[in-house]
Amino acid sequence: MNKKRVIIVGGGLAGLYTAFQLEQLNIPYVLFEAKDVFGGRIHSEKPKGNNDESLFHDLGPTWIFPHHYRMKALAANLEQNLFHQHIAGAVVYHEHRNIAPKIIKNGQGPLLHRLEGGLYKLILALQAKLSKRNYQLSCQVDSLIKVNDTWQVTVKNTKDASVVIHETDNLMLALPPRLIHEYLTPAHWASEALTKALVAVPTWMANQTKFIATYNKPFWRDNGLAGQAFSRVGPMIEIHDASATDQQGFALFGFIGLSSQDIKSFSIEHLKAQCINQLKSLFGEAAQHYEQCYLKSWGNDVHVATDKDRAEPPAHPDFYIKRFSQELSSLNLYLAGSEFSEEDAGYLEGAINAADTAISLLKKEVLFKSH
Ligand SMILES: Cc1cc2nc3c(=O)[nH]c(=O)nc-3n(C[C@H](O)[C@H](O)[C@H](O)COP(=O)(O)OP(=O)(O)OC[C@H]3O[C@@H](n4cnc5c(N)ncnc54)[C@H](O)[C@@H]3O)c2cc1C
Protein backbone atom coordinates (compact mmCIF):
# COMPACT_ATOMS: atom_id res chain seq x y z
CA MET A 1 0.00 0.00 0.00
CA ASN A 2 1.35 3.38 -1.03
CA LYS A 3 1.32 5.65 2.06
CA LYS A 4 0.35 9.28 1.44
CA ARG A 5 1.58 12.23 3.49
CA VAL A 6 -1.86 13.84 3.56
CA ILE A 7 -5.28 12.72 2.35
CA ILE A 8 -7.97 15.36 1.87
CA VAL A 9 -11.59 14.17 1.85
CA GLY A 10 -14.03 16.48 0.03
CA GLY A 11 -13.55 18.78 -2.95
CA GLY A 12 -15.79 21.69 -2.04
CA LEU A 13 -14.33 25.15 -1.45
CA ALA A 14 -12.56 24.08 1.78
CA GLY A 15 -10.97 20.96 0.24
CA LEU A 16 -9.84 22.66 -2.97
CA TYR A 17 -8.47 25.67 -1.11
CA THR A 18 -6.56 23.29 1.21
CA ALA A 19 -5.15 21.42 -1.80
CA PHE A 20 -4.11 24.74 -3.40
CA GLN A 21 -2.25 25.74 -0.21
CA LEU A 22 -0.55 22.32 0.11
CA GLU A 23 0.66 22.59 -3.52
CA GLN A 24 2.25 25.92 -2.64
CA LEU A 25 3.81 24.48 0.52
CA ASN A 26 5.15 21.46 -1.39
CA ILE A 27 3.37 19.08 0.98
CA PRO A 28 2.35 15.93 -0.94
CA TYR A 29 -1.33 15.09 -0.74
CA VAL A 30 -4.17 13.36 -2.56
CA LEU A 31 -7.76 14.63 -2.58
CA PHE A 32 -10.82 12.39 -2.94
CA GLU A 33 -14.16 13.88 -4.03
CA ALA A 34 -17.32 11.76 -4.11
CA LYS A 35 -19.01 13.59 -6.99
CA ASP A 36 -17.80 13.78 -10.59
CA VAL A 37 -17.37 17.56 -10.27
CA PHE A 38 -15.67 19.78 -7.72
CA GLY A 39 -17.42 22.54 -5.81
CA GLY A 40 -19.70 20.81 -3.28
CA ARG A 41 -22.30 23.37 -2.31
CA ILE A 42 -20.85 25.73 -4.95
CA HIS A 43 -22.73 24.42 -7.93
CA SER A 44 -23.60 26.44 -11.00
CA GLU A 45 -25.24 25.91 -14.33
CA LYS A 46 -23.91 27.23 -17.60
CA PRO A 47 -26.53 29.34 -19.41
CA LYS A 48 -27.28 26.95 -22.30
CA GLY A 49 -28.82 29.58 -24.56
CA ASN A 50 -25.87 31.91 -24.08
CA ASN A 51 -22.71 31.63 -26.18
CA ASP A 52 -20.50 32.93 -23.40
CA GLU A 53 -19.31 29.76 -21.65
CA SER A 54 -17.65 31.74 -18.88
CA LEU A 55 -20.98 32.77 -17.31
CA PHE A 56 -22.41 30.45 -14.66
CA HIS A 57 -25.59 30.64 -12.60
CA ASP A 58 -25.20 29.74 -8.95
CA LEU A 59 -27.60 27.17 -7.55
CA GLY A 60 -25.69 27.16 -4.28
CA PRO A 61 -24.13 30.24 -2.66
CA THR A 62 -24.54 33.65 -4.25
CA TRP A 63 -23.07 36.30 -1.97
CA ILE A 64 -19.77 37.32 -0.50
CA PHE A 65 -20.59 39.51 2.48
CA PRO A 66 -18.83 42.86 2.97
CA HIS A 67 -16.75 41.60 5.95
CA HIS A 68 -15.68 38.35 4.18
CA TYR A 69 -12.13 39.58 3.57
CA ARG A 70 -10.63 36.07 3.17
CA MET A 71 -12.97 35.37 0.25
CA LYS A 72 -12.21 38.75 -1.27
CA ALA A 73 -8.47 38.04 -0.98
CA LEU A 74 -8.87 34.58 -2.54
CA ALA A 75 -10.86 36.02 -5.45
CA ALA A 76 -8.15 38.66 -6.01
CA ASN A 77 -5.39 36.01 -5.75
CA LEU A 78 -7.14 33.92 -8.42
CA GLU A 79 -7.70 37.03 -10.58
CA GLN A 80 -11.48 36.86 -10.28
CA ASN A 81 -13.51 40.07 -10.18
CA LEU A 82 -16.27 40.97 -7.78
CA PHE A 83 -19.28 43.11 -8.54
CA HIS A 84 -22.12 44.48 -6.44
CA GLN A 85 -25.40 42.59 -6.15
CA HIS A 86 -27.92 44.48 -8.27
CA ILE A 87 -30.36 46.18 -5.89
CA ALA A 88 -31.28 49.42 -7.68
CA GLY A 89 -35.06 49.70 -8.09
CA ALA A 90 -38.15 48.88 -6.08
CA VAL A 91 -38.81 45.69 -4.08
CA VAL A 92 -42.00 43.64 -4.48
CA TYR A 93 -43.82 42.27 -1.44
CA HIS A 94 -46.63 39.70 -1.76
CA GLU A 95 -48.52 39.24 1.51
CA HIS A 96 -51.57 37.14 0.54
CA ARG A 97 -52.87 35.39 -2.59
CA ASN A 98 -56.07 37.52 -2.55
CA ILE A 99 -54.14 40.80 -2.33
CA ALA A 100 -52.10 42.20 -5.24
CA PRO A 101 -48.30 42.36 -4.67
CA LYS A 102 -47.11 45.74 -3.28
CA ILE A 103 -44.25 47.75 -4.74
CA ILE A 104 -41.95 49.17 -2.07
CA LYS A 105 -39.52 51.91 -3.09
CA ASN A 106 -36.13 52.05 -1.32
CA GLY A 107 -36.74 48.67 0.31
CA GLN A 108 -33.36 47.17 -0.60
CA GLY A 109 -31.15 45.22 1.78
CA PRO A 110 -27.39 45.67 2.37
CA LEU A 111 -24.91 45.87 -0.51
CA LEU A 112 -23.47 42.38 -1.03
CA HIS A 113 -20.71 41.21 -3.38
CA ARG A 114 -20.93 38.62 -6.14
CA LEU A 115 -18.25 36.88 -8.18
CA GLU A 116 -18.30 37.98 -11.81
CA GLY A 117 -19.47 35.07 -13.99
CA GLY A 118 -20.71 33.02 -11.00
CA LEU A 119 -18.97 31.42 -8.00
CA TYR A 120 -18.26 28.22 -9.93
CA LYS A 121 -15.53 30.22 -11.71
CA LEU A 122 -13.67 30.29 -8.40
CA ILE A 123 -13.86 26.48 -8.25
CA LEU A 124 -12.53 26.19 -11.83
CA ALA A 125 -9.72 28.63 -11.01
CA LEU A 126 -8.75 26.59 -7.92
CA GLN A 127 -8.93 23.30 -9.84
CA ALA A 128 -6.63 24.76 -12.50
CA LYS A 129 -3.98 25.36 -9.81
CA LEU A 130 -3.87 21.66 -8.82
CA SER A 131 -1.75 18.98 -10.35
CA LYS A 132 -4.09 16.39 -11.93
CA ARG A 133 -2.26 13.47 -10.35
CA ASN A 134 -3.14 14.84 -6.89
CA TYR A 135 -6.92 14.45 -7.05
CA GLN A 136 -9.53 11.85 -7.91
CA LEU A 137 -13.18 12.60 -8.69
CA SER A 138 -16.06 10.09 -8.28
CA CYS A 139 -14.20 8.69 -5.27
CA GLN A 140 -16.36 8.40 -2.17
CA VAL A 141 -14.61 7.72 1.11
CA ASP A 142 -16.63 5.01 2.81
CA SER A 143 -14.73 4.25 5.99
CA LEU A 144 -11.84 5.41 8.14
CA ILE A 145 -9.86 3.27 10.53
CA LYS A 146 -6.87 4.32 12.64
CA VAL A 147 -4.31 1.54 13.06
CA ASN A 148 -1.48 2.72 15.34
CA ASP A 149 -0.25 5.94 13.65
CA THR A 150 -1.75 5.17 10.28
CA TRP A 151 -5.14 6.08 8.85
CA GLN A 152 -6.67 3.48 6.55
CA VAL A 153 -9.01 5.22 4.15
CA THR A 154 -11.45 3.08 2.14
CA VAL A 155 -12.30 4.74 -1.15
CA LYS A 156 -15.10 3.55 -3.44
CA ASN A 157 -15.14 4.55 -7.09
CA THR A 158 -18.77 5.62 -7.64
CA LYS A 159 -18.60 4.80 -11.37
CA ASP A 160 -17.42 1.19 -11.28
CA ALA A 161 -17.89 0.40 -7.52
CA SER A 162 -14.23 -0.68 -7.23
CA VAL A 163 -12.72 -0.20 -3.76
CA VAL A 164 -9.15 0.77 -2.83
CA ILE A 165 -7.73 1.21 0.67
CA HIS A 166 -5.23 4.06 0.97
CA GLU A 167 -2.98 4.82 3.93
CA THR A 168 -1.92 8.18 5.28
CA ASP A 169 -0.29 9.85 8.28
CA ASN A 170 -2.48 12.95 8.23
CA LEU A 171 -6.14 13.21 7.40
CA MET A 172 -7.85 16.44 6.40
CA LEU A 173 -11.66 16.23 6.40
CA ALA A 174 -13.13 19.04 4.30
CA LEU A 175 -16.81 18.23 4.64
CA PRO A 176 -19.63 19.03 7.09
CA PRO A 177 -19.73 17.29 10.50
CA ARG A 178 -22.91 15.33 9.77
CA LEU A 179 -21.41 13.88 6.58
CA ILE A 180 -18.33 12.82 8.55
CA HIS A 181 -20.70 11.03 10.90
CA GLU A 182 -22.69 9.50 8.03
CA TYR A 183 -19.83 8.23 5.84
CA LEU A 184 -16.60 8.19 7.80
CA THR A 185 -17.29 5.65 10.57
CA PRO A 186 -16.43 7.75 13.66
CA ALA A 187 -17.38 4.73 15.82
CA HIS A 188 -13.90 3.39 14.87
CA TRP A 189 -11.87 6.44 15.93
CA ALA A 190 -13.81 9.25 17.68
CA SER A 191 -14.61 9.74 21.38
CA GLU A 192 -18.25 9.70 22.42
CA ALA A 193 -18.21 13.50 22.84
CA LEU A 194 -16.74 14.08 19.35
CA THR A 195 -19.23 11.64 17.80
CA LYS A 196 -22.12 13.45 19.48
CA ALA A 197 -20.87 16.84 18.30
CA LEU A 198 -20.54 15.57 14.70
CA VAL A 199 -24.23 14.62 14.64
CA ALA A 200 -25.46 17.66 16.53
CA VAL A 201 -24.03 20.42 14.32
CA PRO A 202 -26.24 21.22 11.30
CA THR A 203 -25.02 21.79 7.75
CA TRP A 204 -25.73 25.35 6.72
CA MET A 205 -28.40 25.69 3.99
CA ALA A 206 -28.53 21.90 3.59
CA ASN A 207 -32.31 21.77 3.22
CA GLN A 208 -32.75 24.72 0.82
CA THR A 209 -34.10 24.55 -2.70
CA LYS A 210 -33.09 27.17 -5.23
CA PHE A 211 -34.75 28.07 -8.54
CA ILE A 212 -33.16 30.12 -11.34
CA ALA A 213 -34.65 31.49 -14.55
CA THR A 214 -32.37 33.12 -17.14
CA TYR A 215 -33.43 35.93 -19.51
CA ASN A 216 -31.96 37.64 -22.55
CA LYS A 217 -32.64 41.04 -20.95
CA PRO A 218 -33.27 42.31 -17.40
CA PHE A 219 -36.91 43.31 -18.04
CA TRP A 220 -37.47 43.94 -14.32
CA ARG A 221 -34.72 46.59 -14.22
CA ASP A 222 -36.29 48.27 -17.27
CA ASN A 223 -39.53 48.49 -15.24
CA GLY A 224 -37.84 50.16 -12.25
CA LEU A 225 -37.69 46.94 -10.21
CA ALA A 226 -34.66 45.56 -8.39
CA GLY A 227 -35.61 41.93 -9.09
CA GLN A 228 -35.95 41.52 -5.33
CA ALA A 229 -39.20 40.18 -3.86
CA PHE A 230 -40.50 38.66 -0.65
CA SER A 231 -43.58 36.45 -0.70
CA ARG A 232 -45.85 34.71 1.78
CA VAL A 233 -47.68 33.13 -1.14
CA GLY A 234 -44.89 31.04 -2.66
CA PRO A 235 -43.63 28.74 -3.89
CA MET A 236 -40.60 31.06 -3.67
CA ILE A 237 -40.33 33.08 -0.46
CA GLU A 238 -37.40 35.31 -1.39
CA ILE A 239 -36.26 36.35 -4.87
CA HIS A 240 -33.21 38.29 -6.10
CA ASP A 241 -31.50 39.43 -9.29
CA ALA A 242 -29.09 36.58 -10.09
CA SER A 243 -27.42 37.94 -13.22
CA ALA A 244 -24.00 36.37 -13.77
CA THR A 245 -22.39 39.81 -14.14
CA ASP A 246 -23.90 43.26 -13.76
CA GLN A 247 -24.50 43.54 -17.51
CA GLN A 248 -24.62 39.94 -18.84
CA GLY A 249 -26.18 36.56 -18.22
CA PHE A 250 -29.41 38.02 -16.82
CA ALA A 251 -31.33 35.91 -14.31
CA LEU A 252 -33.61 35.84 -11.28
CA PHE A 253 -33.29 33.33 -8.46
CA GLY A 254 -35.53 32.38 -5.56
CA PHE A 255 -35.48 30.19 -2.47
CA ILE A 256 -38.43 27.80 -2.50
CA GLY A 257 -40.25 27.62 0.84
CA LEU A 258 -40.95 23.88 0.75
CA SER A 259 -39.21 21.05 2.57
CA SER A 260 -37.17 18.55 0.54
CA GLN A 261 -39.85 15.94 1.35
CA ASP A 262 -42.55 18.21 -0.17
CA ILE A 263 -40.32 18.88 -3.18
CA LYS A 264 -40.07 15.13 -3.80
CA SER A 265 -43.86 14.86 -3.95
CA PHE A 266 -44.09 17.35 -6.86
CA SER A 267 -42.88 16.82 -10.40
CA ILE A 268 -39.89 19.12 -10.95
CA GLU A 269 -41.43 20.42 -14.19
CA HIS A 270 -44.64 21.34 -12.33
CA LEU A 271 -42.68 23.16 -9.65
CA LYS A 272 -40.62 25.04 -12.25
CA ALA A 273 -43.86 26.11 -14.00
CA GLN A 274 -45.23 27.36 -10.66
CA CYS A 275 -42.06 29.40 -10.09
CA ILE A 276 -42.34 30.99 -13.54
CA ASN A 277 -46.01 31.85 -12.83
CA GLN A 278 -44.96 33.44 -9.57
CA LEU A 279 -42.29 35.52 -11.35
CA LYS A 280 -45.01 36.67 -13.78
CA SER A 281 -47.29 37.74 -10.94
CA LEU A 282 -44.49 39.65 -9.20
CA PHE A 283 -42.52 41.18 -12.09
CA GLY A 284 -44.89 41.14 -15.08
CA GLU A 285 -45.75 39.05 -18.16
CA ALA A 286 -42.18 39.27 -19.56
CA ALA A 287 -41.13 36.73 -16.90
CA GLN A 288 -42.66 33.94 -18.97
CA HIS A 289 -40.13 34.51 -21.77
CA TYR A 290 -37.24 32.87 -19.91
CA GLU A 291 -34.35 31.15 -21.70
CA GLN A 292 -33.52 28.35 -19.24
CA CYS A 293 -34.64 27.44 -15.78
CA TYR A 294 -32.96 25.24 -13.18
CA LEU A 295 -33.97 23.87 -9.81
CA LYS A 296 -31.72 22.30 -7.20
CA SER A 297 -33.01 20.66 -4.02
CA TRP A 298 -30.00 20.53 -1.70
CA GLY A 299 -31.96 18.51 0.87
CA ASN A 300 -32.15 15.65 -1.63
CA ASP A 301 -28.39 15.68 -2.30
CA VAL A 302 -26.83 12.80 -0.33
CA HIS A 303 -23.42 14.50 -0.37
CA VAL A 304 -24.81 17.56 1.39
CA ALA A 305 -27.82 16.75 3.61
CA THR A 306 -28.55 13.98 6.10
CA ASP A 307 -31.93 12.89 7.53
CA LYS A 308 -31.38 15.22 10.48
CA ASP A 309 -30.81 18.21 8.15
CA ARG A 310 -34.04 17.30 6.36
CA ALA A 311 -36.04 16.96 9.59
CA GLU A 312 -34.82 19.96 11.60
CA PRO A 313 -35.50 23.68 11.05
CA PRO A 314 -32.44 25.53 9.66
CA ALA A 315 -29.92 26.67 12.28
CA HIS A 316 -26.46 28.20 12.31
CA PRO A 317 -23.65 25.70 12.96
CA ASP A 318 -21.49 26.15 16.07
CA PHE A 319 -18.95 23.39 16.59
CA TYR A 320 -16.56 24.88 19.24
CA ILE A 321 -13.68 22.92 17.71
CA LYS A 322 -11.17 23.98 20.39
CA ARG A 323 -12.74 21.61 22.95
CA PHE A 324 -11.50 18.72 20.76
CA SER A 325 -7.97 20.10 20.12
CA GLN A 326 -6.19 17.37 22.07
CA GLU A 327 -8.17 14.51 20.62
CA LEU A 328 -7.77 15.77 17.05
CA SER A 329 -4.06 16.39 17.52
CA SER A 330 -3.47 12.88 18.89
CA LEU A 331 -5.30 11.46 15.87
CA ASN A 332 -3.47 13.66 13.31
CA LEU A 333 -6.93 14.65 12.16
CA TYR A 334 -7.74 18.11 10.76
CA LEU A 335 -11.27 19.44 10.27
CA ALA A 336 -11.42 21.95 7.43
CA GLY A 337 -15.11 22.13 6.40
CA SER A 338 -16.88 25.47 6.84
CA GLU A 339 -19.06 24.25 9.73
CA PHE A 340 -15.87 23.82 11.86
CA SER A 341 -14.87 27.48 11.53
CA GLU A 342 -14.71 29.65 14.63
CA GLU A 343 -15.97 32.60 12.57
CA ASP A 344 -18.62 32.72 9.85
CA ALA A 345 -19.25 28.98 10.24
CA GLY A 346 -21.32 27.55 7.40
CA TYR A 347 -20.44 30.39 5.02
CA LEU A 348 -17.88 30.57 2.22
CA GLU A 349 -15.69 32.69 4.49
CA GLY A 350 -15.95 29.96 7.13
CA ALA A 351 -14.65 27.38 4.64
CA ILE A 352 -11.49 29.44 4.08
CA ASN A 353 -11.08 30.20 7.78
CA ALA A 354 -11.53 26.57 8.88
CA ALA A 355 -9.14 25.40 6.16
CA ASP A 356 -6.52 28.02 7.12
CA THR A 357 -6.69 26.89 10.77
CA ALA A 358 -6.42 23.21 9.78
CA ILE A 359 -3.51 23.92 7.41
CA SER A 360 -1.54 25.82 10.07
CA LEU A 361 -1.94 22.86 12.48
CA LEU A 362 -0.94 20.40 9.75
CA LYS A 363 2.10 22.53 8.84
CA LYS A 364 3.33 22.37 12.45
CA GLU A 365 2.95 18.57 12.46
CA VAL A 366 4.57 18.00 9.06
CA LEU A 367 7.48 20.43 9.63
CA PHE A 368 8.05 19.05 13.16
CA LYS A 369 8.22 15.46 11.85
CA SER A 370 10.57 16.33 8.97
CA HIS A 371 13.20 17.93 11.31
C1 LIG B 1 -28.46 27.13 -1.43
C2 LIG B 1 -27.24 27.62 -0.70
C3 LIG B 1 -27.00 28.97 -0.60
C4 LIG B 1 -25.86 29.45 0.08
N5 LIG B 1 -25.62 30.80 0.10
C6 LIG B 1 -24.47 31.26 0.61
C7 LIG B 1 -24.07 32.63 0.42
O8 LIG B 1 -24.78 33.40 -0.27
N9 LIG B 1 -22.92 33.04 0.98
C10 LIG B 1 -22.11 32.20 1.71
O11 LIG B 1 -21.07 32.66 2.22
N12 LIG B 1 -22.43 30.88 1.86
C13 LIG B 1 -23.57 30.39 1.32
N14 LIG B 1 -23.85 29.05 1.39
C15 LIG B 1 -22.92 28.17 2.13
C16 LIG B 1 -21.68 27.79 1.30
O17 LIG B 1 -22.10 27.16 0.12
C18 LIG B 1 -20.79 26.84 2.11
O19 LIG B 1 -20.32 27.52 3.26
C20 LIG B 1 -19.52 26.35 1.38
O21 LIG B 1 -19.75 26.05 0.04
C22 LIG B 1 -18.99 25.15 2.17
O23 LIG B 1 -17.84 24.61 1.56
P24 LIG B 1 -17.17 23.31 2.17
O25 LIG B 1 -16.06 22.96 1.25
O26 LIG B 1 -16.88 23.52 3.61
O27 LIG B 1 -18.31 22.17 2.14
P28 LIG B 1 -19.05 21.50 0.84
O29 LIG B 1 -19.21 22.50 -0.25
O30 LIG B 1 -20.27 20.86 1.38
O31 LIG B 1 -18.01 20.41 0.37
C32 LIG B 1 -17.94 19.11 0.88
C33 LIG B 1 -17.49 18.19 -0.25
O34 LIG B 1 -17.32 16.87 0.27
C35 LIG B 1 -17.83 15.94 -0.69
N36 LIG B 1 -18.15 14.69 0.01
C37 LIG B 1 -19.21 14.42 0.80
N38 LIG B 1 -19.13 13.16 1.27
C39 LIG B 1 -17.98 12.64 0.77
C40 LIG B 1 -17.34 11.36 0.92
N41 LIG B 1 -17.86 10.40 1.69
N42 LIG B 1 -16.18 11.15 0.25
C43 LIG B 1 -15.62 12.12 -0.52
N44 LIG B 1 -16.21 13.35 -0.70
C45 LIG B 1 -17.36 13.60 -0.03
C46 LIG B 1 -19.05 16.64 -1.26
O47 LIG B 1 -19.46 16.08 -2.50
C48 LIG B 1 -18.53 18.07 -1.37
O49 LIG B 1 -17.90 18.29 -2.62
C50 LIG B 1 -24.96 28.53 0.70
C51 LIG B 1 -25.20 27.16 0.59
C52 LIG B 1 -26.32 26.70 -0.12
C53 LIG B 1 -26.56 25.21 -0.24
pLDDT in tens, 95-136: 999 999 999 887 677 789 999 999 999 999 999 999 999 999
Q: What is the pLDDT of residues 269-306, one digit of tens each?
A: 999 999 999 999 999 999 999 999 999 999 999 999 99
pLDDT top residue among 12 and 259: 12
Q: Whose CA is nearest to atom 20 of ligand 1?
A: 348
CATH of 85-116+207-300, one of 1.10.1040.10, 3.90.660.10, 3.30.70.580, 3.40.1350.10: 3.90.660.10
Every domain of the chain with CATH number 3.50.50.60 lies at: 1-42+119-206+304-371
Say if ligand 1 is within 6 A of residue 15 CB. Answer: yes
Say if ligand 1 is within 6 A of residue 254 CB. Answer: no
Query: At 347, is the secondary structure helix, strand, or coil?
Result: coil
Ligand 1 mutation pick, 9, 45, 58, 175, max ligand atoms within 8 A of CB: 175
Q: In this predicted structure, what is the pLDDT of residue 367?
A: 72
**d(CA 349, ligand 1 centre) in Å:** 12
Say if ligand 1 is within 6 A of residue 303 CB. Answer: yes
CA torsion sign for 155, 11, 311, 343 is positive
**d(CA 59, ligand 1 centre) in Å:** 11
For every residue of 179-243, DSSP letters joined together read HHHHHS-GGGT--HHHHHHHHHSPPTTTT-EEEEEE-SS-HHHHTTEEEEEEESSSSEEEEEE--
What gap in Å lies between CA 176 and CA 181, rounded to an integer?
A: 9
Every domain of the chain with CATH number 3.90.660.10 lies at: 85-116+207-300
Say if ligand 1 is within 6 A of residue 41 CB. Answer: yes
Q: In this predicted structure, what is the pLDDT of residue 371?
A: 53
Contact between 350 and 41 (Cβ < 8 Å): no
Say if ligand 1 is within 6 A of residue 12 CB. Answer: yes
Q: Which residue type, as a one-letter code, is found at position 130?
A: L
Ligand 1 mutation pick, 41, 45, 139, 153, max ligand atoms within 8 A of CB: 41
Q: Which residue type, as a one-letter code, is found at position 328?
A: L
Q: Is the peptide bond before 235 cis (omega within 30 degrees of 0)?
A: yes
User: What average pLDDT score do residues 241-250 get?
Assistant: 93
- Nearest-atom number in ligand 1 for the CA of 32 is 43
Contact between 276 and 287 (Cβ < 8 Å): yes
* pLDDT-derived band at 193, boundaries 50, 70, 90: very high
Q: Whose CA is nearest to atom 37 of ligand 1?
A: 303
The closest alpha carbon to 365, from 342, 331, 323, 324, belongs to 331
CATH of 1-42+119-206+304-371, one of 3.50.50.60, 3.30.450.20, 3.40.50.620, 3.90.45.10: 3.50.50.60
